[in-house]
Structure 1
Amino acid sequence: MTILRLGTRRSALATTQSGWVADRLRAAGHQVELVEITTHGDVSTAPLATIGGTGVFAAAIRQALLDGEVDLAVHSLKDLPVAPHPGLEIAAIPVREDVRDALVARDGLTLGELPADAVVGTGSPRRVAALNALGLGLRVQDLRGNVDTRLRRVAEGDLDAVILACAGLRRLGLQERITEAIDPLQMLPAPGQGALALEIRSDDDQARAAVIPLDDPDTRAAVTAERALLAGLGAGCSAPVGALAEIVEEMDGSLHVSLRGFVGAIDGSLDLRRSVTGPIERAEDLGHELARTLLEDGARAVIPRSEEPERPAGASRPGGPQNTSSSVHNDLEQNL
């Protein structure tokens, strides 16, 4: 059998995620070789928002795919731009890890226990907006570096806390460092957070056949809704936007998507939350519908509308005749 060359970034988290996929492919009888690739995001020390957002981590790997240097790439889905990339496709999205953001704080503190003026490190505009909206009087410091570097800033007393993704810490076996898994009611995760995307060349039937068994339809539907929200807002993956879709079973046995969205101002002056629910077959449409609601209700003030919304990379779960009914709700609860 032909060896599948799997392109990965060199960071511990990226190689761990790629290794997780490689192990499952090997268990299915495939031969897999990991190929390490350095991206612009890995070598730059500038804030992500100034160098093009988290999509900078994917560009080099995608180019290696197109050039035939690798056959498969494993991305953190939240790092991928929502627009489809010509010549490439997301062939599988495995079962999602913990979607929540994680606080790692000194002395085992939670967000509510951090004193006023405590310094919290994060490189995410979404997390900055959510933290400032909480009104806890925390000071936020921009943060770059790999997971070990960020955790060391807390251990050495340079920062009072950092915020990372629960999924990454769990995949690295560092879940014991989490002092609080932040409730999505306080901080909605990034669209696609906790999910992996397995990307191939669109004309590579062999790679597609190998990875499709790893696809989880419910996870795909959920992240399709979340990324459609991001696309409908005309926002990039480093924008102050949060989203979380959950698959729920109705009384009649049908599956629905319950999607919540957040748009915030960096200074905390805007904390806009809305939600929508509808049939799983309409996951992508629901994301665009919620984006329109958020824009109409004030999101335009912090996210300029693009001329034409992008389409999310990944299709919603296939099904029978579509039920076009859905319900949109105003989420007026305050952050705790």
Structure 2
Amino acid sequence: MTEKALRLGTRRSKLAMAQSGQVADAVSQVTGRPVELVEITTYGDVSREHLAQIGGTGVFVAALREALARGEVDFAVHSLKDLPTTQPDELVVAAIPVREDPRDVMVTRDALKLNDLPRGARIGTGSPRRMAQLNAYARSHGLDFETVPIRGNVDTRIGYVHQGELDAVVLAAAGLNRVGRSDEVTDFLSVDTILPAPGQGALAVETTADNAELIAALAELDDPFTRVAVTAERSLLAALEAGCSAPVGALADLLTDGQSVKEMRLRGVVGSTDGATLVQLSTTGPVPETHEAAMALGRELATEMLAQGAAGLMGERAH
């Protein structure tokens, strides 16, 4: 007799279905059980408001978590950057698989690079974080472009460029890779230009805290280096008391000597959306060996950023 299928809760977007399908295949290999996708509509999927207005944090997550709590699904897959930084006691992130490319990318008309866009170019993004850093970059490099708030899925956003409504849009490299559209990227934005959202490119596989058997199986998909990196990034975000609608970027990357991992560098940025003020700091140290050590690293950098004036910027949300 075939074993009962595991039910994986997922958002209905093309991107969510793609990344959930990849996790489903991996879980099937680990458990030997079939996995069926259960499509769930979240508030963030149906609201037409800009993310900064509806709160950003949690709007793509609550409905999936409610389905978990009701026993309608066995586990759920989230884009980690969508998860609130506080974790409910009854749920556990059992796996954070190897991270995809964390960078932001641009899809532009005529295959132009960021530095080659004409004066007055219109760049679409739904992210105050991207706006703050793009506008700061424009100020420091003598560029003249306008950032325009947009919503919509990958197809909609790229469509704005193809239809001539915008000169460029900024998207996450990971999302385009997962839906097989990375060939449309015209410019990969260095993390020295734009720091990604905390956890960008990483997935969180969540289940109920009392499901010991599934937690053990999902742990096979966990990547310890990705976990400590995103834990530090999210700890920084939590310490800055910011939801993902605030202009905060963070990236922890592992520094190697070509043979082995030597240290971890954590970088953080907070800025006003007009780019006039940025607080950007980094710290480098041993790779954290525990969850607590990764959390401490994030908190320490956040404390330094607050001392440098980040607190005054946290209220600068896009409207």
Structure 1 length-normalised TM: 0.88
Instruction: String of CA shifts for 1:152-196, please: whole Å, max 9, x gaps.
Output: 110010110000000000111100110011001100000000000
Is residue 98 from structure 1 mapped to residue 105 from structure 2 by the alignment? no
Q: Choose which of 123, 128, 133 in structure 1 pairs with 2:131.
A: 128
Whole-Å separation in 2 of the counterparts to 1:93 and 1:242: 20
Preserved CA contact (<8 Å) 1:128 1:140: yes
Structure 2 residue aligned with 1:4: 6
Which stretches of structure 1, 4 residues or longer, exceed 3 Å deviation after superposition? 249-255
Whole-Å separation in 2 of the counterparts to 1:137 and 1:87: 49
Structure 1 residue aligned with 2:243: 236
1:20-59 matched pairs, under 5 angstroms: 20-28=22-30, 29-59=32-62
Whole-Å separation in 2 of the counterparts to 1:85 and 1:48: 22
Distance 1:107 1:226, change over 3 A: same
Amino acid at match of 2:5: I
Q: How much has 1:252 moved relative to structure 2? A: 11
Q: How much has 1:2 moved relative to structure 2? A: 3.6
CA RMSD in angstroms comes to 1.5
Structure 1 residue aligned with 2:271: 264
Report the secondary structure of 2:58's partner residue. Answer: helix
Preserved CA contact (<8 Å) 1:41 1:54: no
Q: How much has 1:54 moved relative to structure 2? A: 4.1
Q: How much has 1:248 moved relative to structure 2? A: 2.5
Preserved CA contact (<8 Å) 1:91 1:212: yes
Q: Choose which of 218, 222, 227 in structure 1 pairs with 2:225.
A: 218
Instruction: String of CA shifts for 1:42-72, please: whole Å, max 9, x gaps.
Output: 0000000111104200110011111111011
Structure 2 residue runs without a partner (length 5+): none
Report the secondary structure of 1:184's partner residue. Answer: coil
Amino acid at match of 1:268: G
Whole-Å separation in 1 of the counterparts to 2:167 and 2:258: 46
1:46-195 matched pairs, under 5 angstroms: 46-135=49-138, 136-195=143-202
Whole-Å separation in 1 of the counterparts to 2:261 and 2:56: 37
Structure 2 length-normalised TM: 0.92
Whole-Å separation in 2 of the counterparts to 1:137 and 1:262: 22
Is residue 276 from structure 1 mapped to residue 283 from structure 2 by the alignment? yes
Distance 1:118 1:248, change over 3 A: same
Whole-Å separation in 2 of the counterparts to 1:38 and 1:142: 23
Whole-Å separation in 2 of the counterparts to 1:250 and 1:239: 35
Report the secondary structure of 2:299's partner residue. Answer: helix
Instruction: String of CA shifts for 1:286-313, please: whole Å, max 9, x gaps.
Output: 1000000000001011116xxxxxxxxx
Instruction: String of CA shifts for 1:229-283, please: whole Å, max 9, x gaps.
Output: 0011111122101011012347996743210111111111112110012222322
1:196-207 matched pairs, under 5 angstroms: 196-207=203-214
Report the secondary structure of 1:230's partner residue. Answer: helix
| Paired positions, count | 304
Q: How much has 1:27 moved relative to structure 2? A: 2.0
Structure 1 residue runs without a partner (length 5+): 305-336
Structure 2 residue aligned with 1:245: 252
